[in-house]
Amino acid sequence: MTPEEVFLKLVHGVADRDFAVLPGLYAEQTDVRHPMNPYGDHPLLSRAALEEHFGVTGPRVTEVVSFQPVNIRVHQTADPEVIVAEFEYAGTVLASGEPFTVPAIFVLRVRDGLIVESRDYIDHLAMIRARGQVEELVSHLREPATAPAAS
């Protein structure tokens, strides 16, 4: 698959709640980061880590919202392995019927049909609002930061 085809399978798979299939889009050793995540960027470095991520995060999201990717624009780069994809998840809060939009840009490196590197810049705050988790985030942000362990 081309990088664009892999990207489209990924974003449509997330929207279609196909969480068991999604880890198979990634290489065994990968590097997936969410630099804008207000809970911190916790790199996902293996297919096994992505299985856990999709198995925990996926159902928590889809229990409260439904969405589809829209306004997809895929930009090719000078490197044939790398694409930049702009899109939005447009959806509905299940409990209230309220619509929401979450803009995103993914930068993916796909080698041999598998994602080996991804930087996912997504409006996490818009998704947190849609999921009704603002108070949880505020509580998290009020927690004292832990100092790094001495070496």
Query: Global pTM?
Result: 0.86
Residue ranges per structural domain of the chain: 3-133
Mean pLDDT along residues 49-55: 88
124 vs 146: CA distance, rounded Å: 22
Do residues 50 and 23 make contact, with C-beta atoms less than 8 angstroms apart?
yes
In CATH terms, the fold of domain 3-133 is Nuclear Transport Factor 2; Chain: A, (3.10.450)
Q: What is the pLDDT of residue 37?
A: 86
Nearby residues of 41 by Cβ (< 8 Å), 6 or more positions away: 33, 34, 35
**Residue that has been written with the tokens 């299939």 in this structure:** 21
The DSSP secondary-structure symbol of 76 reads E
pLDDT score of 18 more than 90: no
Mean pLDDT of the residues in the chain: 90
Predicted confidence (pLDDT) per residue in 55-71, tens digit: 877 777 778 888 999 99
- How many angstroms separate the Cα of 8 from the Cα of each of 25, 43, 84, 116? 11, 22, 12, 16
Predicted confidence (pLDDT) per residue in 122-147, tens digit: 998 988 888 887 788 788 778 876 65
